Amino acid sequence: MSFFRRDRRVPGRVTAQEAAARTGQGKAAEGGADAVLLDVREPHEWQAGHAPRAVHLPLSALAAGAGLPAGAQAGPIVVICRSGNRSRRAADLLAARGTEAVDVIGGMRDWAAAGLPVVDSRGGNGTVT
């Protein structure tokens, strides 16, 4: 069963583990990856540490009307930030535009706490700031 709601105007919420499974990240990947992980944190946060294969678009740019990056246009979106507040707002914005989106409860903090991979801008071990 999909964790994306039938009514795209009302985004759902998922745990870090569910997000990882849905986006094909880390140990939680089970071959059912069909969504793109969109990180909406600011550039300095992204550079310090993000999920591998995530796509970056700061919430400020999304709120200003920026379109989704090419890597995030193909399917459903799982939105993540540091703690879950910005990703919730981003998921609401995307849903209002007709995009199928959910946000990650607890954001990158919960992602890292779950032992899921975090890389920095150079591909090394990253940290969540």
What is the full per-residue pLDDT of the chain (129 aa) written as tens digits?
A: 345 545 555 689 999 999 999 999 866 555 567 899 999 999 999 999 999 999 999 999 999 999 999 889 878 999 999 999 999 999 999 999 999 999 999 999 999 999 999 999 999 999 998
The pLDDT score that the predictor gives to residue 77 is: 97
**Would you list the domain boundaries of the chain?**
12-113
The pLDDT score that the predictor gives to residue 1 is: 34
Separation CA 94–CA 4 (nearest Å): 13
Active site residues: 81
The pLDDT score that the predictor gives to residue 79 is: 98
Of 17, 29, 7, residue with least CA distance to 105: 17
The pLDDT score that the predictor gives to residue 10 is: 64
| Cα dist from 81 to 14, 41, 59, 93, 100, whole Å | 13, 5, 9, 14, 17
pTM for this predicted structure = 0.89
Give the right CATH number for 12-113 from 3.40.50.2000, 3.40.50.280, 3.40.250.10, 3.40.50.880. 3.40.250.10
The pLDDT score that the predictor gives to residue 74 is: 76
Q: Is 13 in contact with 93 (CB distance < 8 Å)? A: no
The pLDDT score that the predictor gives to residue 37 is: 97
Separation CA 93–CA 79 (nearest Å): 11
The pLDDT score that the predictor gives to residue 7 is: 53
The pLDDT score that the predictor gives to residue 88 is: 97
